[in-house]
Chains A and B, each alone.
Chain A
Amino acid sequence: MKLEKSPSSASLTNGDAADKPSTYHSWLHSRGVWFSYIVGVYGMHLFLLSLPFFSVSTVWTLTTVVHSVVTYFFFHHVKGSIWADSQGSERYQTQWEQIDNGEQFTSTRKLLTLVPVLLFFLASFYTKYGYYHFLINCAALLLGVVPKLPMFHGFRLFGINKY
C-alpha cells in the first residue's frame, strides 16, 4: 500500500477486508418482501392507470417497460453494497449476483425472474396482441429475464460497468 500524492482520497486496496460473501441481501428472504414487491408493481400499475391521457393497453406496456428498466438498474447495474462501505469482492458484483451469495435458481431468484414473464402475459392480453405492443413488451421481457440467467452471471458486455 502506498499513499497517493495527488489531492484525492487515499484508498485502501482490497487487502484488509476478508473476501467474505455478501450478506447484504438476506432481507430478500424476510417475511412479506415478496408480497410487498408484487403489491409495489401493482401499485405502480394503478398509478399509471390513474393518469388520464393513457389508454389501458398503453398503461400495461408502460408497466412492463418501467418494471424492467427499474429492476435492471437496481439488480444489474448498481454494484457493491448499498448500505455500507464496500471493501470485499462484492465491490465488483451487481446486486443480482450477490443475492443468495451467487447461488442460482433459489426461490428468490425464481420469483424475481417470473414476475417480468407474468407481466408479459398480462400485457399481451390487455393490449389485444397488437404488433407494436408485442415488440415493446418483448424487449422489456428480454431486458428483465436475460441478465438473470445463470450464463450471464459475471458477464459484462464489452467490459462496460466492469469495475
Chain B
Amino acid sequence: MADAIMKFGVEPWNFAELVEAFKQAPLYHLAFEVILVVFIIRLIFSKSYSIESTVKLTEAEREQLVQEWEPEPLVPPVDPNHPALHYKVITKQGNNKLVVDGKEGINVGTFNFLGMLGRKETEDAAIQTMRKYGVGTCGPRGFFGTMDVHLNFEEKMAKHMGVEEAILYSYGFSTIASAIPAYAKKGDLVFCDEGVSFAIQMGLLASRSKLKFFKHNNMADLERLLQEQAVEDKKNPKKAKVMRKFIVVEGLYVNHGTIVDVEKLIELKYKYKVRVFMDESMSFFVLGKTGRGVTEHAGVDITDIDLISVSMEAALGTMGGFCLGTRYVVDHQRLSGLGYCFSASLPPMLASAASMAVDITQKETDIFQKLRSNNEFIHVQLSGLPGYRLDGDPISPIKHLRLEETSGDWQKDQAFLEKIVVRALDEGVVLTVARYLEEEEAFLPPPSIRIAVNVTLTEDQLTKITSVIRILAAAVLREKSEGE
C-alpha cells in the first residue's frame, strides 16, 4: 500500500513515516486531540432538547416577575376630541334628504349620483328577488354560491358595455383590490397615478410588484417614466422579457374629481406596450352620453382598456362590483381573483337591484344629461370662492372644496373645514369632509369638503346648497382671520 501511495504522492513519503510522526507529535497537539475526543464523546451522548425550553426559573424568580408585572391598559388613552368618538347618527334616509343627528338636510355627502338608492323600482326588484332566493348561500361563487341572477347580471353588463365578459364581485372595495394582484405579481412593474383611491393602493400592496408613481393626472410625467423604463429594458432585455408592465388609473378620481386623459393613455399604451387597468367606480353611470363611463365620454373604444373595474356602491346604489374585459383576461380572475374565489357571493337581491338600475337608465335616457347640468351648475356657483379652491372637473359629480392656502397642519385644516360642515347641517345641507386613513394613504390629499352631486336635486335645492356653502365658507374664513 505504501508503494501505491508513493506512486501518486508528490513528495516521497510513506505510511510508516506518518506513524513515526505521530509518535513524535508535540505534546500540545496530543493534549488538544484528547480534549477533542472528550468533546466528541460528550457530543455523541448529549440528549437533544428544544432551544426555547432552556430557561428554568426558580420559584422566587417567578414570584418576582409576577410582582414586577404591570398590566398595560386594555384600551390605550384616547384623545376625547378624537373624531371617531363624535360620530354622526343618521336616522332616516329618503329621496335626497338625510336626517343626521335629528336634523334634516339635503344630501350632498354620499355617492348616490343617479338617486338609485331609495328608488321604488330598485327596492321592489331587490325584495322580489329576496322572496325567491333568500339572502344568498354564503358560499363563494365557485362553491355553491353562483345563482342564475349572478350569471344573468354578468351577461347583461358585458352586453351593455360591449365587452366580451364581466365578472361579479361581492364587495366594491375588493373588486379592484383583487383584480390587480390577480395579474401583477412580484417582479412586475406598475405605473400608478399618485391620486388613486385606497382600494387600488391595497391592490398594489398585495401584488408586491415594483411601483412607479407619476404625478396626478400628468400624462407627460407618465411618459417620462415609461421612457426611462424603455431605456432600462434595452440594457437588460432578458429581464424585460419576463416583466409585465401595467398602468393603473382611475376613470374619475374619487379623491380629486379629475377625469383621466384616456386618449393619451391609450396612445402611450400601444407605444410602450403596457397593459392598462382602469377603475371606473366613480365614472361608470356618470360620464358619457349613456353612462358607459370614461371611454364613452372620450369617444374611444372600450376594448382598448385591458381591464375595467366598477364598484356598484356609487351610481348603481347597491353593493358589490364587477370587472369588464376580454374573455381571455377576465376568466383568469375566476381562479386567481382572491375576492372572487374566497368571498361569499353577492346576495342575489343586490344584483337584481343593480340590474334594475341599469334598466332604469335605458328608459330615462336624459338622466345623464341632467346629472351633467347639475354638476356644471354647482361647479360654476362654487368656483372662485375667495380663500378656497374647487378641485374637480366641471362635469364631475364629485367636487373637492379645498383651502387655497393651507396652514401646513393637515389636522388643523380638516378641523377648519369641519366647522363649515357642522354649520351647514343647521342650515339644512348635509355635507361631509373627505375622510382618509391618514396614516396609511400613500399620498394623503389635502383636506377638503367633498360634494357629491346627484341627479334628484331640484333647481331650488341646488341654489340652496351653493348659497349655504358660499355664505358659510366666507363666514368661517372671516371668523378665523378675526381670531388671529
Given the interface pairs A1-B440, A55-B10, A153-B51, the reply to whether A10 lies near B40 with Cβ below 8 Å is no
| Interface size, chain B (Cβ < 8 Å) | 44
The answer to whether B211 has its CB under 8 Å from any CB of chain A is yes
C-alpha gap A52/B204 in the complex (Å):
58
State which of B25, B26, B186, B201 has its C-beta within 8 Å of the C-beta of A3.
Answer: B201
Closest Cβ–Cβ distance, residue A9 to chain B (whole Å) = 5
Chain B positions within 8 Å of A55 at CB level: 10-11
Q: How far is the CA of A101 from the CA of B52 in the complex (A)?
A: 10
The residues of A that contact B29 with a CB separation of less than 8 Å are: 124, 129, 134
Q: Is A5 interfacial (CB 8 A cutoff)?
A: yes
Is A106 in contact with chain B by the CB < 8 A criterion? yes
Number of interface residues of A (CB under 8 A): 41
Which residue in chain A gives the minimum CB-CB distance to B20? A128
Given contacts A1-B440, A105-B47, A129-B25, contact A114 B40 (CB under 8 A): yes
Q: A3-B205, A10-B204, A128-B18 are in contact. Are A117 and B10 (CB under 8 A)?
A: no
Which residue of chain A has its CB nearest to the CB of B437? A2
A150: Cβ under 8 A from any B Cβ: yes
How distant is the Cα of A121 from the Cα of B213 in the complex, in angstroms? 61
**Complex partner residue of A102 from B18, B43, B50, CB under 8 angstroms:** B50
Cβ-neighbour of A106 out of B17, B26, B48, B440 (below 8 A) = B48
Binding-face segment, B31-39, B286-294, B346-354, B402-410? B31-39
A2 contacts which of B8, B22, B207, B439 (Cβ < 8 Å)?
Answer: B439
In the bound assembly, the distance between CA atoms of A52 and B11 in angstroms comes to 11
A126 and B17 alpha carbons, distance in the complex (Å): 10
Whether A126 touches B208, Cβ cut-off 8 Å, given contacts A3-B201, A102-B51, is: no
Q: Counting CB contacts under 8 A, is A8 at the interface?
A: yes
Q: A9-B210, A56-B9 are in contact. Are A124 and B33 (CB under 8 A)?
A: yes
Q: Mark A54-65, 1 if CB is under 8 A from B, else 0.
A: 111000000000
**A33 CB–B CB distance under 8 Å:** no
9 cross-chain pairs, A with B, having the tightest CB-CB distances, nearest first = A128-B21, A3-B442, A129-B25, A105-B46, A105-B48, A102-B51, A7-B212, A106-B48, A3-B201
11 contacts between A and B (CB under 8 A): A3-B205, A4-B211, A7-B210, A9-B208, A10-B204, A11-B208, A52-B10, A105-B46, A121-B36, A129-B21, A129-B29
